[in-house]
Chains A and B, each alone.
Chain A
Amino acid sequence: MTTNDPLVNAERTARRYWNVDGLAEIYAGCFFLLVPLLNLVWQHTSIAPVWLALGGIVALTCIVALSRTIIIAIRRRLTYPRTGYVSFRRPRRGKEEAGIALILIALVAIFVFMALTTDWLGGLTAISGITIGVIDLYLGLTADLPRFYFLAVLSIAAGVVLGLAEPTFIAFFPMEGAGEVFAYLFGVIGAGYLITGGITLAKYLRENPAPEHA
Chain B
Amino acid sequence: MIVSLLYVSKEADFVFLQRETGLTKGNLSSHLARLEAAGYVRIEKMFRGKLPLTLCSLTATGRTEFENYRKTVKRALGR
Instruction: List A residues at the B interface (Cβ < 8 Å).
Output: 6-7, 9-11, 13-14, 17, 76, 80-81, 83-89, 91, 213-214
Contacts and interface: CB of A to CB of B under 8 A. Distances in A.
Interface string B7-41: 11111111111111000000000000000000000
A86 B15 CA distance: 10
A10 B13 contact: no
Given A6-B1, A85-B53, A11 B8 contact: yes
A192 to B, nearest CB: 28
B8 A87 contact: no
A7 B8 CA distance: 8
Contact of A213 (B10, B19, B50): B50
A214 B14 CA distance: 16
27 contacts: A7-B8, A9-B4, A10-B1, A10-B4, A10-B5, A10-B7, A10-B8, A13-B5, A13-B8, A13-B20, A14-B8, A17-B16, A80-B15, A84-B12, A84-B15, A84-B19, A85-B12, A85-B16, A85-B53, A85-B55, A86-B11, A87-B9, A87-B12, A88-B8, A88-B9, A88-B10, A91-B8
B14 A84 contact: yes
Contact of B16 (A6, A11, A84): A84
A17 B13 CA distance: 13
Interface residues of B, number: 23
B51 interface: yes
A214 B52 CA distance: 11
Interface of B: 1, 4-5, 7-20, 48, 50-51, 53, 55, 70
Interface centre among B14, B16, B17, B50 (most CB of A within 10 A): B16
A80 B53 CA distance: 10
A87 B18 contact: no
Rank and list the top 7 A-B pairs by shortest CB-CB distance, nearest first: A84-B16, A84-B15, A10-B4, A86-B12, A6-B4, A85-B13, A87-B10
Query: Does more than half of chain A's interface fall in helix, strand or loop, or is it mixed?
Result: helix
A83 B20 CA distance: 9
B5 to A, nearest CB: 5
A6 to B, nearest CB: 4
Given A84-B14, A84-B19, A14 B7 contact: no
Given A86-B11, A86-B12, 4 more contacts: A10-B7, A80-B13, A89-B8, A91-B8
B49 to A, nearest CB: 9
A31 B38 CA distance: 47
Nearest to A85: B13
Q: Which of A13, A81, A85 gathers most chain B CB within 10 Å?
A: A85
